[in-house]
Structure 1
Amino acid sequence: MNDAFAPTLAPTRWRHRCAAALLAVAIGMTAWPVHATTASEAEPPADSETTPAPALPAPPDPPRPAVPDLSGLRTALAEFQCAELEVAVGTDQRVAISGLSAGDTDPDSLALLAQDYVTGQRAAVDVERASPALCEPLTLIGALRTSNAGLAAPLAIRLKGGTGTVLDGGQELVFDVTAPDFPAHLQVDYFTSDGDVVHLLPNPLEISGRVEAGAVRRLGERGAGGRFWSIGPPYGHELIVVIASPTPLFPSPRPEAEPASSYLPALKQALDGAAPTTVATARFLKTRAP
């Protein structure tokens, strides 16, 4: 290369270098992808203060469904003399009627009755059938049961396990009778599923059924010096009836066991002449083979 051309070539090379640099910068500025930074990713200046977002209020609790008033329905169910019915509200807020009946208590009729007292709801009905023979003693003491329900301290039967108790064959029958709020003489009868009646009190070993007001009399306890009984066939639904009167219903004890068909007319005659304060109560129970 000839040195004579050096002064002319130098400025041209500088211009070429500058043009190439500017082109590289332009290309570089447009070649990098653009990344949109969100507000959460952007870092605030070091000297700035961040304000926390206000807390959202907690959502309100869902309204609880109103518990229906069942007092009217309970009163109506108590009118079924040949039945022992209970009513309750389940966890699903549905009204349920359960119990036992020895009469013509139709489940559909009970469900329709419930609609008269619980608007817009059809009750679930689960009622077991007992022997129709047990309806007669319940009808006979119907008015006395109503009077008893009105007492502040009513005559009561307490079975171990409560209403609907199931007793197996061979199991002992033990229960408590709580006297009403006056001194009384107790007549305790056990009506079997095959049409007999066993007089539990008075009995040959306990000829007096007298109790003080509000006293508790236990029956059937082995070793207490009185009668005790074991469950045996025939099995099915059976009935305990307790009558409390100011004086004994019968002038002399009845046979310890007799057909209900012979006893019920005599009982009706005794109740027709009983004091107005006489009251009664009853409890179903279920027996089954062991």
Structure 2
Amino acid sequence: MSDRLGKYELRRILGKGAMGTVYEGYDPVIDRTVAIKTVRLVDADSEDAQAIEELERFRREAKAAGRLQHPNIVGVFDYGETDDLAYIVMEYVDGTTLKQVLDNGERYGVEDVVRLMDALLAGLQFSHDRGVVHRDIKPANVMLTSGGEIKIADFGIARIESSSFTQAGTILGTPAYMSPEQFMGQRVDARTDIYSTGVMLYQILTGDKPFDGGLTAIMHKVLNTEPLPPSALSVAVTPALDHVVLTAMAKQPDRRYASASAFAAALRNALLAEPLRANDQDTPDAGQNTTTDDDGTFIAPSRHTPAPSPRAAAPASLPPQAGSARKGLPLTALAAGGLVTVAVLGGGGYFLFSPGSEDPPVAAAATQAGETLPPLPGASAQGPTPPVPSVAPDPARIAATVGTLPCSFLTAARDGGQVTLSGYVGAGSPKAALDAALAQLPGSSQIRNTVHPVDGPYCPIFDALRTYHGVTSGSSGLAMSLPGNDQPLHDGDPIAIAVTLPSFSAHLWTVYFSNDGSAVRIYPTSPDASQAFAANTTKTLGDGSHGGARMQVGAPFGTDLAISLALSGPLPSAQIPTNGNVTSMTAAMTELLSKAASAGQQVAITLRPIVTRPKGS
């Protein structure tokens, strides 16, 4: 090969893989060092199906990453083809990978976990907003530059929303970080990246992957078993962090955070509100070795398509973790370990489901009902239970215990000598988890529990909105009411929702979620109709006599959910979808709240379940 590729000078080889080579290059026109990733071209009528698919995936990587110009994503500058090569010109990253850092047994302090995950999730949110799902988030694809920046690399198996190249039934990813829907060959969306990032966070916090072993073992565990809470592996991990990680790793996508920004906000709150505990007991014996599977990306065609025989993947051993305490190191220090290419060159192996076999069922979403709660201060596994105080615990203590429980939206307020806990929680396991957590509190008999269990697909909504709702922040005054209060509404009944605005001048956004998962914005009635309402005024929605559209009860019947957001600043019309579903509307609400919070606006949120029934029931 010559020392040039198009206008680019080739200086040295950075790495080689089964399908191509990565070079350090130089762009003489703008005086810039670049990385150049190459693969060989093949004819469209070639019998080498693997090479054809690899070339298509290579072109796809250029298209996916090329549309993502963000400080936390490795940039793609150019794409070209010669007579026998295709090449991508990328940002040259001088640094290391998160995988190398973790393999060296390093741990992060609180500030560094926040900074690393904030940057990673910011890059993912940017990618998802532009219709690109990475599908291979793992430590090997997270670059740590020598300047302390975090960058997502290798969009080689990314899915672009407007493309149909990768159909449902195709299995791609790295097994230890793959979501249940990836193993099932189902269509993926942004929540797949949320799952993989949750796995990576689990590894950052504990030093171990939640599911390990060979391919078959990992697949079975991902589909059928729940991971140990991270706190079971590291005493440095708090219950609040357990909940964040396990929510991100929920087996059902609609139980995970609805967006990367919602995940980031929940993690930030959990870390900063409850810092990592002293890390002096979580290190295995120095002689204990831990092995892990190869971190290569696996790409397997549909189970109905013949494929090459599996290649053996060489397991890599994690080094023994020694020492009584591993301190968090700054990212800048960790990233200075040497030069690593930003491009991962595919390969590693193939796997298939057995012909004619049925997909293993995806297990129910993770719940925390059976978790062992941490002992109360002063309590001992061997000693007697502390006496129950005669007064209720402080609302802040209640918030610390239940404020991050999955599938909950709660408020704790003191009323004289009693504390009232109100809000909503998912029926079933989430309600049981809440009751168990409250029972652990001294003085629990003095807590007035008025929390309502709610049936329906609303856990992602509760989890996303909880980030912007302080459990002890006090009442904003924002409220919704219905004629007849909590009485069920029947088929054909009008739905008139009276919204009382908060104690500040606010713009209003109200969404109605049906129990089938669909969603419609009922105010403002058009993207440009948003206006500021005076504090404490009332706006009635859904009643034609008060203006606006008329609403009435219809099938499907069950428990619906109305949500109102009040913001002190104006609502951008482009960010107010008129309809959607739980996933899309929750993501829109989260983005709106995130931007409002970043701008320092006042925010208030209120929820109202609405029970609907057929006539005569």
Interval of TM-score (by shorter of Structure 1 and Structure 2)? 0.5 to 0.7
Counterpart of 1:258 (choices 556, 559, 580) is: 580
**Alpha-carbon distance in structure 1 between the residues aligned to 2:440 and 2:515:** 33
Q: Report what 1:180 is aligned to.
A: 502
Q: Report what 1:167 is aligned to.
A: 489
- Provide closer, same or farther for how the CA distance between residues 219 and 117 of structure 1 changes in structure 2, counting only shifts above 3 A: farther
Higher relative contact order (CA 8 A, sep 6+): 1
SS in 2 for 1:237: strand
SS in 2 for 1:223: helix
- Structure 2: which 5+ runs fail to align? 1-389, 413-420
SS in 2 for 1:172: coil
Q: Report what 2:467 is aligned to.
A: 143
Q: Report what 1:272 is aligned to.
A: 594
| 1:122-164 Cα shifts (integer Å, max 9, x gaps) | x999964512x211122221133327x63464211122333x4
Counterpart of 1:223 (choices 542, 545, 551) is: 545
SS in 1 for 2:570: coil
**Alpha-carbon distance in structure 2 between the residues aligned to 1:112 and 1:77:** 7
Give 1:273 shift. Answer: 1.0
Which amino acid in the other structure matches residue 113 of structure 1? Answer: L
**Alpha-carbon distance in structure 2 between the residues aligned to 1:193 and 1:280:** 20
**Alpha-carbon distance in structure 1 between the residues aligned to 2:593 and 2:423:** 30
The alignment yields a C-alpha RMSD, in angstroms, of: 3.9
| 1:62-82 Cα shifts (integer Å, max 9, x gaps) | xxxxx9748759755665563
**Alpha-carbon distance in structure 2 between the residues aligned to 1:281 and 1:126:** 14
**Alpha-carbon distance in structure 2 between the residues aligned to 1:112 and 1:182:** 34
TM, length-normalised to structure 1: 0.59
**Alpha-carbon distance in structure 2 between the residues aligned to 1:239 and 1:186:** 17
SS in 1 for 2:612: strand
- Provide closer, same or farther for how the CA distance between residues 159 and 224 of structure 1 changes in structure 2, counting only shifts above 3 A: closer
Q: Would you say the 8 A contact 1:238–1:287 is kept in 2? A: yes
Q: Would you say the 8 A contact 1:84–1:101 is kept in 2? A: no
Q: Report what 1:247 is aligned to.
A: 569
**Alpha-carbon distance in structure 2 between the residues aligned to 1:120 and 1:281:** 27
Which amino acid in the other structure matches residue 140 of structure 1? Answer: A
Matched-pair identity in %: 25
Give 1:106 shift. Answer: 4.3
1:123-142 residue pairs with structure 2 within 5 A?
128-131=453-456, 133-142=457-466
Whether 1:191 and 2:513 are equivalent positions in the alignment is yes
Q: Would you say the 8 A contact 1:82–1:103 is kept in 2? A: no
* Structure 1 range deviating more: 176-185 or 250-259: 250-259
Alignment: residue pair count: 214
Give 1:286 shift. Answer: 1.4
Which amino acid in the other structure matches residue 280 of structure 1? Answer: I
Whether 1:288 and 2:613 are equivalent positions in the alignment is yes
Give 1:194 shift. Answer: 0.9
**Alpha-carbon distance in structure 2 between the residues aligned to 1:97 and 1:199:** 26
Which amino acid in the other structure matches residue 441 of structure 2? Answer: D
TM, length-normalised to structure 2: 0.30
Q: Report what 1:101 is aligned to.
A: 426
**Alpha-carbon distance in structure 1 between the residues aligned to 2:451 and 2:567:** 35
SS in 2 for 1:229: coil
- Provide closer, same or farther for how the CA distance between residues 113 and 231 of structure 1 changes in structure 2, counting only shifts above 3 A: same
Give 1:189 shift. Answer: 0.5
| 1:223-257 Cα shifts (integer Å, max 9, x gaps) | 22211100111111111111111223332474532
Which amino acid in the other structure matches residue 134 of structure 1? Answer: Y
Which one has the largest radius of gyration? 1
Which amino acid in the other structure matches residue 139 of structure 1? Answer: D
| 1:243-279 Cα shifts (integer Å, max 9, x gaps) | 1112233324745322233333233222221143122
